[in-house]
Chains A and B, each alone.
Chain A
Amino acid sequence: MSICRSLTLLLIALFSLLSLPATAQEDDPGKALLINLAEAPASKVEEAVNAIVSSGDERARGWLEAYGNNRLSRVKDTGQVVLVLNNRGRDWEIADPLTGENMGEMSRRELDRVAINNRIRGQLEGILAMLDLNAKDPDVREASAQDMMGKVDASLVEPLEAQLAKEEDAAVRNRIEEALAIYRVGEGNLEAVDVLAGSLHPRARAALNEAVRGDNEALAQRAAKALESIEQKLQLNRAAETLYFGLSLGSVLVLAAIGLAITFGVMGVINMAHGELIMLGAYTTWGMQQLFPGQPGLALILSIPAGFMVAATAGIIIERSVIQYLKGRPLETLLATFGISLILQQLVRTVISPQNRTVVTPDWMSGSLVINDALSLTLNRLYVLAFALIVFAGLMLIMRKTRLGLEVRAVTQNRAMARSMGIRATRVDIMTFALGSGVAGLAGVALSQLTNVGPNLGQNYIIDSFMVVVFGGVGNLWGTLIAGLSLGTINQLLEPWAGAVLAKIIVLVFIILFIQKRPKGLFPQKGRAAEG
């Protein structure tokens, strides 16, 4: 008997030990707060919510979010408050709100939803934003302050002001001030209008518009003035955005055309397969990403030399096998290289797939650079723009400062004279063509980040590239850069009122007419080289 009793005692002791965490939970202030909320009558709910907010508990955000989404429930038997993770079907998956521990599934009949009314739900968003305003990360604070714009009501003014007083980050302060100003404009405060006059946020404009329509005349006048200044700023930003997109499109054109400017412009070889060399570069990027799965960034960086090499090799093969036999017969070269472009396209269709391949954009290239509320620049386009400029600068250096560049210029200006000076013209031909082709490969690597990678990729760019080179003036790299960027910008400027297709047609017609006027392009070559 006694043994039996002592065993029982031991068991009880063990159990109490095991339930130690439970006792810890007992002491958790969060539990009381939640139960308080769950049990509060309609009139006291607000108080209970505020209590949770002011507790400073880190888990408060999750609780309130769940509360707003009807995901806070009470177990009927035990009275414990739980989070509902999944409320589909009959058995709901629940978790402990205090520890976050998954508690498995429970029949929904045994659960009792913690009631919420619409008034509280409306406020909850602001309250949650207030919670975020205390976050450590200034970006989170700024985002939450931005969320708050237009949602501030009388109850939030005071806490916001308190927040403003202790906030140190300038951007966050600005946002809070704007949020407060929107509320104050609604209340008829004149000074608040001036605060909003500097804001580009759509909510600020909405608030000012409302003030203009309101009965308060002094306020309406001031708001109208503020709106005018905002409108001016917006227009400036829109112009900047169009310019950015134009430059971005232009940088793509420059990239596609700059290799052609070498092979066509400098060497005088019409390479209709240029577009397919771009395509090869893009497929190299895809191939590298298959080689390094899960590391798109590394693959992309490695693709830059790889794409160059692949396209340059293809270029050398084309030059050796076909183009060298057609020297001095540009129209035949045009036809033969067009044939090569058909073969390359079909090769990709047969060997890889006629479908487009997806090339992953690495994290550091996706997203956008936010300048202000009205203007944000997509990062991948920014990178491509920078890349185009770097490639251009590199080519410029090669042509101007290296032995190869000197020899290329000598051979194009006077082949016979250059050869008698000991320059191996055939070697220069190969090197130049490889360089131009390799740059096409680089263009492909960049384009893989902006458009679909498919067998038709090159075809879409070949006519544009030739237009850019001819427009800029054959044999002039600067001309190509300026022509590409300006054609891209013109295209973007026309698009809003003409539509994308019509804009393109207008640009083409413009170039056709321009060539009639100035057959040698924007920057014609002067002197003897021009006659060659």
Chain B
Amino acid sequence: MWLTRPLQERSTQIFLGVLFAAVVLVTFLHLFMPQDSALHVSAFTVTLLGKYLCYALLAVAVDLVWGYLGILSLGHGAFFALGGYAMGMYLMRQIGDRGVYGDPILPDFMVFLNWQELPWFWHGFDMAWFAFIMVLLAPGLLALVFGFLAFRSRVTGVYLSIITQALTFALMLAFFRNEMGFGGNNGLTDFKDILGFNLRTDATRLGLFIATGIALAIGYVICRGIVTSKLGRVSVACRDAEARTRFLGYRVERVQLFVFVVSAMLAGVAGALYVPQVGIINPSEFSPLFSIEIVVWVALGGRATLYGAVIGAILVNYAKTVFTGIMPDAWLFALGGLFVLVTVFLPKGIAGLLQKRRKASQDDDTPTAQEATV
């Protein structure tokens, strides 16, 4: 079974072990340490860490297409945001008549805009199972249509990057419009509860954090399963020599499409877990800057390693939290500098440094970032 194979790998075992230990440790410190203890992890920190884990899952999704398929997507923020919006719509419907205007059906912003009835695409989102399916389906469908058109006409490399960027830019403009029915500028916010649990309680926050950890573990295993399968090898072949793979008789565009859609769905799940923890989803998640930031997390961590993406995402976002707290002006300098330094001096990322250390015992067949260069 392709999904169980990674579980026998040493690297996956280590990754899952570390992740499990971290989640258990945070849970323990949150629940059993007294409030005034220095070791106590506050609910705020738990949510913050949950956010990092969402980003980590998103970075893994990007690494899957960039590292193993050679497609630099500058639009993965769009899939993330679509998943987030699907979740946001479910949470909106859960508010019911507890909104400011007290309308039992319509969310506040629709009442505010004088809408009389729910738009058709909002139907069904009062049911959790439907919303959770849409979390996968909405980004998956967009990726399927977009990927089908792009890969069929063999748009690759820089062109694809620029087009994905245009895609997320167009979606951002669209979601900014009030007429779209997604809350316009302000997005969706003011959520009350999820699956009957109040979002403001610490227990729910901890639950979401643990759920994110589990999602990351599953996402990682899925990606690992894909890259170690035969499909994964073909996809690496597409990355390194697309034309040659095609001449060997593989249907390159199908491989690309499959991996791209899986990656988009993972990004959607990350977005869906992100929204209840952050408490808001608005069109700025579609901004090209966010999408390109994700790529830098992956680049810093080390491309085509998957665990590197997780490290990069957590490191960069931790740095962002610290920087924006201490000196907000310097953050963009730091981020910009990171872009330059990583690409020029650290092409293999942090994972590359780690690999150099333990070169001897390398049973990992992961190609290094240098070979992965497109």
Q: Which A residues lie at the B interface, using CB under 8 A?
A: 270, 322, 325-326, 329-336, 338-343, 345-347, 349-350, 463, 466-467, 470, 501-502, 504-505, 508-509, 511-513, 515-517, 519
Task: Quote the shortest CB–CB distance from B75 to chain A (angstroms).
Answer: 10
B343 touches A467 (CB 8 A): no
* CB < 8 Å neighbour of A346 from B154, B329, B344: B329
How far, in angstroms, from A512 to B72 measured CA to CA in the complex? 16
Per-residue CB contact flags for chain B residues 151-191 toward chain A (1 = under 8 Å, else 0) read 01111011101110111011001101100000000000000
B150 touches A516 (CB 8 A): yes
Task: Quote the shortest CB–CB distance from B286 to chain A (angstroms).
Answer: 12
**In the complex, chain B residues whose CB is within 8 Å of the CB of A333:** 343
A339 touches B149 (CB 8 A): no
Count chain B residues whose beta carbon lies closer than 8 angstroms to a beta carbon of A.
43
In this complex, which of A345, A502, A511, A512 has the most chain B Cβ atoms within 10 angstroms of its Cβ? Answer: A512
B329 touches A336 (CB 8 A): no
How far, in angstroms, from A333 to B338 measured CA to CA in the complex? 13
How far, in angstroms, from A345 to B292 measured CA to CA in the complex? 16
For the complex with contacts A332-B347, A463-B162, 8 further pairs of A-B residues with Cβ separation under 8 Å are: A270-B158, A335-B296, A341-B336, A343-B332, A346-B332, A467-B162, A505-B170, A508-B170
A343 touches B336 (CB 8 A): yes
Task: Quote the shortest CB–CB distance from B347 to chain A (angstroms).
Answer: 7
How far, in angstroms, from A318 to B299 measured CA to CA in the complex? 20
Whether B353 is near chain A, meaning CB under 8 Å from some CB there, is no
**In the complex, chain B residues whose CB is within 8 Å of the CB of A349:** 329
A505 touches B174 (CB 8 A): yes
**In the complex, chain B residues whose CB is within 8 Å of the CB of A347:** 333
Task: Quote the shortest CB–CB distance from B56 to chain A (angstroms).
Answer: 19
Interface positions, chain B 348-374, Cβ under 8 Å from A, are 373-374
* CB < 8 Å neighbour of A505 from B165, B173, B335: B173
Q: In the complex, which residue of chain B has the Cβ closest to the Cβ of A520?
A: B159
* CB < 8 Å neighbour of A326 from B163, B337, B344: B344
B158 touches A325 (CB 8 A): no
Ranked nearest first, the 5 interchain pairs of A and B with the lowest CB-CB distance are: A339-B339, A342-B336, A343-B336, A346-B332, A508-B170
* CB < 8 Å neighbour of A508 from B152, B153, B166: B166
* CB < 8 Å neighbour of B337 from A325, A339, A519: A339
B155 touches A516 (CB 8 A): yes
**In the complex, chain A residues whose CB is within 8 Å of the CB of B373:** 329, 332
Per-residue CB contact flags for chain B residues 324-335 toward chain A (1 = under 8 Å, else 0) read 000001001101
Can you list 30 pairs linking A and B with CB atoms under 8 Å apart? A270-B158, A322-B340, A329-B374, A330-B374, A331-B72, A332-B343, A334-B161, A335-B292, A335-B295, A335-B296, A335-B339, A336-B343, A336-B344, A339-B336, A339-B339, A342-B333, A343-B340, A350-B329, A466-B162, A466-B165, A466-B166, A470-B162, A502-B177, A508-B166, A508-B173, A511-B166, A515-B153, A515-B155, A516-B150, A519-B155
Whether B288 is near chain A, meaning CB under 8 Å from some CB there, is yes
Task: Quote the shortest CB–CB distance from A385 to chain B (angstroms).
Answer: 25
B149 touches A331 (CB 8 A): no
A463 touches B165 (CB 8 A): yes
Interface positions, chain B 287-332, Cβ under 8 Å from A, are 288, 292, 295-296, 299, 329, 332
Q: Classify the interface of chain B: helix, strand, loop or mixed.
A: helix
Task: Quote the shortest CB–CB distance from A354 to chain B (angstroms).
Answer: 9
Q: In the complex, which residue of chain A has the Cβ closest to the Cβ of B332?
A: A346
In this complex, which of A334, A340, A349 has the most chain B Cβ atoms within 10 angstroms of its Cβ? Answer: A334
How far, in angstroms, from A338 to B157 measured CA to CA in the complex? 17
Task: Quote the shortest CB–CB distance from B68 to chain A (angstroms).
Answer: 14
Task: Quote the shortest CB–CB distance from B244 to chain A (angstroms).
Answer: 15
Instruction: Count A-B pairs with CB separation below 8 Å.
Output: 117
A343 touches B337 (CB 8 A): yes
B335 touches A342 (CB 8 A): yes
Task: Quote the shortest CB–CB distance from B64 to chain A (angstroms).
Answer: 16
Task: Quote the shortest CB–CB distance from A321 to chain B (angstroms).
Answer: 8
Interface positions, chain B 48-74, Cβ under 8 Å from A, are 72
B170 touches A335 (CB 8 A): no
How far, in angstroms, from A338 to B72 measured CA to CA in the complex? 14
How far, in angstroms, from A12 to B182 measured CA to CA in the complex? 91
**In the complex, chain A residues whose CB is within 8 Å of the CB of B153:** 515-517, 519
* CB < 8 Å neighbour of B163 from A346, A504, A515: A515
Q: In the complex, which residue of chain A has the Cβ closest to the Cβ of B287?
A: A459
**In the complex, chain A residues whose CB is within 8 Å of the CB of B155:** 515-516, 519
* CB < 8 Å neighbour of A336 from B167, B174, B335, B340: B340
Task: Quote the shortest CB–CB distance from A214 to chain B (angstroms).
Answer: 42
Q: In the complex, which residue of chain A has the Cβ closest to the Cβ of B338?
A: A339
Task: Quote the shortest CB–CB distance from B373 to chain A (angstroms).
Answer: 6
Per-residue CB contact flags for chain B residues 118-152 toward chain A (1 = under 8 Å, else 0) read 00000000000000000000000000001001101
How far, in angstroms, from A390 to B167 measured CA to CA in the complex? 33
Task: Quote the shortest CB–CB distance from A511 to chain B (angstroms).
Answer: 7
How far, in angstroms, from A365 to B230 measured CA to CA in the complex? 66
A501 touches B167 (CB 8 A): no
Q: In the complex, which residue of chain A has the Cβ closest to the Cβ of B156?
A: A519
**In the complex, chain B residues whose CB is within 8 Å of the CB of A346:** 329, 332-333, 336
**In the complex, chain B residues whose CB is within 8 Å of the CB of A338:** 292, 339
Task: Quote the shortest CB–CB distance from B65 to chain A (angstroms).
Answer: 12
How far, in angstroms, from A463 to B172 measured CA to CA in the complex? 13
Q: In the complex, which residue of chain A has the Cβ closest to the Cβ of B72?
A: A331
How far, in angstroms, from A430 to B155 measured CA to CA in the complex? 29
**In the complex, chain A residues whose CB is within 8 Å of the CB of B149:** 513, 516
B176 touches A501 (CB 8 A): yes
How far, in angstroms, from A270 to B154 measured CA to CA in the complex? 20
How far, in angstroms, from A224 to B337 measured CA to CA in the complex? 69
**In the complex, chain B residues whose CB is within 8 Å of the CB of A505:** 170, 173-174
How far, in angstroms, from A340 to B343 measured CA to CA in the complex? 12
Q: In the complex, which residue of chain B has the Cβ closest to the Cβ of A521?
A: B159
Task: Quote the shortest CB–CB distance from B174 to chain A (angstroms).
Answer: 5
A508 touches B159 (CB 8 A): no
In this complex, which of A340, A463, A504 has the most chain B Cβ atoms within 10 angstroms of its Cβ? Answer: A463
B288 touches A463 (CB 8 A): yes
B329 touches A330 (CB 8 A): no
**In the complex, chain B residues whose CB is within 8 Å of the CB of A504:** 170, 173
**In the complex, chain A residues whose CB is within 8 Å of the CB of B150:** 516
**In the complex, chain A residues whose CB is within 8 Å of the CB of B146:** 512
In this complex, which of A326, A331, A350, A512 has the most chain B Cβ atoms within 10 angstroms of its Cβ? Answer: A331
Task: Quote the shortest CB–CB distance from A490 to chain B (angstroms).
Answer: 15
In this complex, which of A332, A345, A513 has the most chain B Cβ atoms within 10 angstroms of its Cβ? Answer: A332
* CB < 8 Å neighbour of A325 from B154, B295, B335, B344: B344
**In the complex, chain B residues whose CB is within 8 Å of the CB of A511:** 166
A334 touches B158 (CB 8 A): yes
**In the complex, chain B residues whose CB is within 8 Å of the CB of A331:** 72, 157-158, 161, 374
**In the complex, chain A residues whose CB is within 8 Å of the CB of B72:** 331, 334
Q: In the complex, which residue of chain B has the Cβ closest to the Cβ of A502?
A: B177
A330 touches B157 (CB 8 A): yes
How far, in angstroms, from A334 to B296 measured CA to CA in the complex? 11
Task: Quote the shortest CB–CB distance from B239 to chain A (angstroms).
Answer: 11
**In the complex, chain A residues whose CB is within 8 Å of the CB of B165:** 463, 466
How far, in angstroms, from A338 to B292 measured CA to CA in the complex? 8
Task: Quote the shortest CB–CB distance from A54 to chain B (angstroms).
Answer: 62
**In the complex, chain A residues whose CB is within 8 Å of the CB of B159:** 470, 515, 519
